[in-house]
Chains A and B, each alone.
Chain A
């Protein structure tokens, strides 16, 4: 019987709440950022597009852990006092914002050109066109990749344990150092992550069914 796991389940559960909180904050931040970046990428001028390309290039080519370490080691030298949790959420948001923006941009660009032309033909301004023609369709298309990115993000929150944030993985290490039951504890930790991610994936499958347009 995995007695050690059972007796520490409450503690791991509390830590899992932290993981969920950090994930939720980062998802919101990265989704907002991703939407802004996607709009800049599609509609922005040359300077905005170059800036966005640079941002995407950096995030695609630098590991999240290196960005987290950069925040952790470099910001204090730069004189910026940012709490570990705020910093972790900021880095996660910046990193996954790039993935989100790609998903949103692909969805916006996947709409047939006739939709844009028809909206413009009806005399709509850009914002109105986006709000009532483009977004309602594009966001449905973007839902599956959005959820995939959320799953990547949730798994990646385990990395913030390395810069000293207390969440599920950090709690797993603490309990392991106390009990030496690494198999049980990390097996349990993996199972909790699995439950969070798998249930989110199932939920999104439900939502996809519900939101699907009848063609």
Chain B
């Protein structure tokens, strides 16, 4: 069986339609998980005791269960309970919830990587916690977490393919449907892999650029 390049060219618009959905899902999931992770981290580090435990339990729970099971739980579970959530919606909620847990761990590691001596020095200078956080800890922690956030974002982008299981017409689903209709398995999956590689390379480059832009002058 030979590789049919004209098939790929003919169907490229179909792949691009899927890519738009993939990108929508990925960008929304990344943004929401960044915000969600921040809230969880604040609660976990400085919240009152019950909220602190709740935040810790949340992180353990979402990180130790598969995102596919979370998607099924939301998609089928809520449907049985009478709430209709679209495939896109349930995939988004699951991806944002799980990666919110991962982002929270990344933030926490970033904040805790700032030497305790700096915080003590800031205290000795008479600063209060909000000031210490805003001008000493967070500006440094923010720069340190950019590379792991980039890595996590690439994982999120790749995980959007799981939305194919609940009939979201993103890139993988589009490819799967094309394969089932045309039996051009080589062409479809080769193209699919190349498109994902291109997207991931792009995201990695964007984060490297961001990292370089924000770096403290040496």
Contacts and interface: CB of A to CB of B under 8 A. Distances in A.
B72 to A, nearest CB: 5
A36 to B, nearest CB: 23
B1 A77 contact: yes
A201 B196 CA distance: 31
A193 B65 contact: yes
A61 interface: yes
A176 interface: yes
Contacts of B76: 176, 182, 186
Contacts of A194: 60-61, 64-65
A65 B172 contact: yes
Interface in B179-210: 179, 183, 185-186, 188-189, 192-193, 196-197, 199-201
A182 B80 contact: yes
Given A74-B189, A169-B72, A63 B81 contact: no
B185 A60 contact: no
A208 B161 CA distance: 35
Contacts of B183: 77
B189 A156 contact: no
Contacts of B164: 65
B64 A201 contact: yes
A187 B179 contact: no
Interface string A34-66: 000000000000000000000001101111111
A62 B72 contact: no
B175 interface: yes
Contacts of A197: 64-65
A66 B200 contact: no
B77 interface: yes
Contacts of B113: none
Interface in A182-200: 182-183, 186-187, 189-190, 193-194, 197-198
A130 interface: no
Given A61-B197, A63-B196, A186-B69, A193 B64 contact: yes
A69 B66 CA distance: 19
A155 B66 contact: yes
Contacts of B142: none
B158 A151 contact: no
Given A65-B172, A158-B66, A194-B64, A172 B162 contact: no
A69 B197 contact: no
Nearest to B197: A61
A197 B69 CA distance: 14
Given A63-B172, A73-B189, A186-B77, 17 more contacts: A62-B200, A63-B159, A66-B161, A66-B189, A69-B189, A70-B185, A151-B63, A156-B66, A159-B68, A176-B76, A183-B77, A183-B81, A186-B73, A193-B64, A194-B65, A197-B64, A198-B60
The 8 A-B residue pairs with the shortest CB-CB distance in the complex, in nearest-first order: A182-B76, A61-B200, A158-B66, A63-B161, A61-B197, A186-B73, A197-B64, A63-B158
Interface of A: 57-58, 60-67, 69-70, 73-74, 77-78, 151, 155-159, 161-162, 169, 172-173, 176, 180-183, 186-187, 189-190, 193-194, 197-198, 201
13 contacts: A60-B154, A61-B196, A62-B158, A62-B197, A63-B161, A66-B172, A66-B193, A69-B189, A155-B66, A169-B66, A169-B69, A172-B72, A189-B69
